[in-house]
Chains A and B, each alone.
Chain A
Amino acid sequence: MNAGATHDRASNRRTRQWSALRFQHVGKVFADSRGGQYAATRDVNVSVRRGDFYCLLGPSGCGKSTLLGMVAGFDPPTSGEIVFVGDDAGVEWTSPIFAAGVDRSMIFQDAAEALFPWLDVEENVLFGPRLRAARARGYAGSATRYLHMVGLQDHGHKFPFELSGGMKQRVQIARALIMEPDILLMDEPFAALDAITKRLLQTEMSRIWQETGKTVLYVTHDIVEALILGTRIAVMTSGPEATIRDEIVVDLPRPRRTTDAEFVELVKILEGMLLEEVHKGRRAQGALT
């Protein structure tokens, strides 16, 4: 099907209900500094269904963030494609991803760089709606609901430099949610936080996902985090030429407890897979573990 029929250019939104975000044989080759080529990922096939909390779990440097950046539209794949797919009365349509757009909201690991330091919390959250309102000569709406959702209702007039790392990530989450995107893209958002803050935010993210029913594509190297959050977890092989090794479905009830026997069992399985990949990667590079 052609893209025009499924994609409204003015609002940059798909006009029809999609059912999955599909990676089809996606690969990315970078030119390295010596004029050679470096294949970061190869033949990645993933299907993120609408409503999934989908975790990409893999060792450092396996190209997880690269994949996320491709979905965001920052940098296109060098082979394969990433498409939204839907179904109209039995006829399947696909809609490819072009540039960055409001239908896909990214939450970055480095909140200090991602937030706009000259705007306070509320103005950061309203940045997107105000751009839209300015174009349509309409009303940007209020940030209150989204500030409440992330627990920042009393901090709307603080500036980013006055916030802790965890609070900055809350701002990013509210700023993404207010756009009502089709999919939230999260790039190790809690990796730089201290252990307690991290656990708190993971629990809240799980709640927010349940409340909003948003589709989330979440990149992490933290096994426990993937298991607290994910409905499905794709384990990646180590790079170069990283690809999907296994996909597991997690149907533990929420909120998940890290000490439950089933949870611990899944940690062991994933840990086994990841360790194997890390060792493989080290051997490939001739390095010691």
Chain B
Amino acid sequence: MRRAETLPADRAAPGVGRVPIPGVRRIAFAAAGRRLLMASISIGFALLLWHLSVGTLFNPALVPTPEQTFSKAWRMMLTGELFMHVAVSMRRVLVGYAVGCVVGIAVGALIGRVRIVRELADPLLELIRPISPVAIVPLAMLWFGIGELSKFFVIIYATVIIVLLNTAAGVSRTPVTRIRAARCLGASEYEVFVKIILPSAVPYVLTGMRVALGFSFMGIVAAELIGASEGLGFLIMNSQMLLQTDQLFVGLLSLGVVGLVVDRIFRAVLARSMRRYMQFLGDV
């Protein structure tokens, strides 16, 4: 019984679904409240530990206190410097990510649909997959210099591979029965692809897009660490060279906060717009 409860919803017994029950909204609110409470406790506790450890466990020259970090962040916000770095990094990520998703979905759908293409592409993809976006940075610098293009290249690479693999998997795993059912209902090859195979692949595509978003953030920092004059990666690298540990911590924390916010926005948008394609899988 315990084991069944930990299974994701799509593995649950067939025919068992979520039926609207009165009061379910209140339960959802209570659950959200509890999550918020727990988050506050854990973050508050971590801040307290951090505060107490500086000067006792850690050398204050290497680890700033939370107060120093937040006051530095506040000052950087007032001058607009922090926002500038965040905006530059975000722009690079979003442009590269958008291009990467479009390319990944288009090529992935082709690979998933056409068997011969899949068989030819698979070995190459298996080979490329372990090469992380970070490892691509030096090559990007060599080819495209230190300008924006090299940053886009790294992000596009980080996004394309993941989105492509997931899209291909989703497309090729569309149940044969579902395709046959559509054929019996008069669907042409094109209609089967657009109205059956693509919707069937949506959960896979979105999973890939979400993972790719995380990869993009890793990629952008790596790219900015090496050759950039603005952006969060640059901020972090620069702080290290100037021994400004408070600023370095501001950079790291900003990265965490921005990544979290973007992921939450992604999930919120996804939960709304793609709900009908995801709901049978349980929570998004």
Contacts and interface: CB of A to CB of B under 8 A. Distances in A.
Contacts of B177: 108, 110, 113-114
Interface stretch (B33-41, B42-50, B95-103, B180-188): B180-188
A132 interface: yes
A162 B17 contact: yes
A113 B178 contact: yes
A199 to B, nearest CB: 18
Contacts of A115: 181
A105 B184 contact: yes
A161 B186 contact: no
Interface string A193-210: 000000000000000000
B180 A179 contact: no
Interface stretch (A96-104, A224-232, A245-253, A271-279): A96-104
Nearest to B9: A161
B17 A72 contact: no
Contacts of A168: 15
Contact of A163 (B17, B175, B199, B277): B17
A162 B18 contact: yes
Q: How large is the interface on B (under 10, 10 to 19, 20 to 34, 35 or more residues)?
A: 20 to 34
Interface in A110-159: 110, 112-119, 127-128, 131-132, 159
A162 B178 CA distance: 18
Interface string B192-235: 00011001001000000000000000000000000000000000
B272 interface: no
Given A116-B199, A117-B280, A160-B280, A127 B17 contact: no
B196 A116 contact: yes
A12 interface: yes
A163 B18 CA distance: 10
B186 A132 contact: yes
Contact of A100 (B183, B276, B279): B183
Given A74-B180, A105-B184, A165-B15, A113 B175 contact: yes
A108 B183 CA distance: 13
Interface string A76-105: 000000000000000000000001111011
A164 interface: yes
Interface of B: 14-15, 17-19, 175, 177-178, 180-187, 191, 195-196, 199, 202, 276-277, 279-280
Given A105-B185, A116-B182, A127-B185, 13 more contacts: A72-B184, A74-B183, A101-B184, A102-B186, A104-B184, A114-B177, A118-B280, A159-B17, A162-B19, A163-B17, A165-B15, A168-B15, A179-B184
27 contacts: A99-B183, A102-B184, A104-B184, A105-B184, A106-B180, A106-B184, A108-B181, A110-B177, A113-B175, A113-B178, A116-B178, A116-B199, A118-B199, A118-B202, A131-B191, A131-B195, A132-B186, A160-B280, A161-B17, A161-B18, A161-B280, A162-B19, A164-B15, A168-B15, A176-B184, A179-B185, A179-B186
